[in-house]
Amino acid sequence: MTQADDRILETLADSNLILSPRVLSVNTDYSRHYLSTRLGRLHEAGLVDRVDEGLYEITGRGQAYLVGRVDADDLESR
C-alpha cells in the first residue's frame, strides 16, 4: 500500500461517488496514468470495485481498511 492508495480510498470514501482516474487526478496530486495503475492494484486487493470501464467505487473492505479493521500486511498476501 502506498500513500497514493490511501488518498484514492479516502477520496472515494469521502465523496461517496463512483469516480474515474481522471476525476481522481484532478482532486489529488497524482497523474491519471499512475492512478489507473494503483486502482488496478486496489481492485486486485478487493478495496475498490470496477463499476464500468474506468469507473471505480470503494468496497466495504476498502472502508474497513480506512478505519483500521484490515491490515495492509493482509492485503499484500492476498
Rounded to whole angstroms, the Cα distance separating 62 from 18 reads 14
pLDDT, tens only, 12-71 = 999 999 999 999 999 998 999 999 999 999 999 999 999 999 999 999 999 999 998 888
How many domains would you assign to the chain? 1
Residues 6+ apart with CB under 8 A from 10: 66
**CATH at residue 34:** 1.10.10.10
Range of the domain at 36: 3-76
Q: Of 3, 9, 7, which Cα lies nearest the Cα of 45?
A: 9
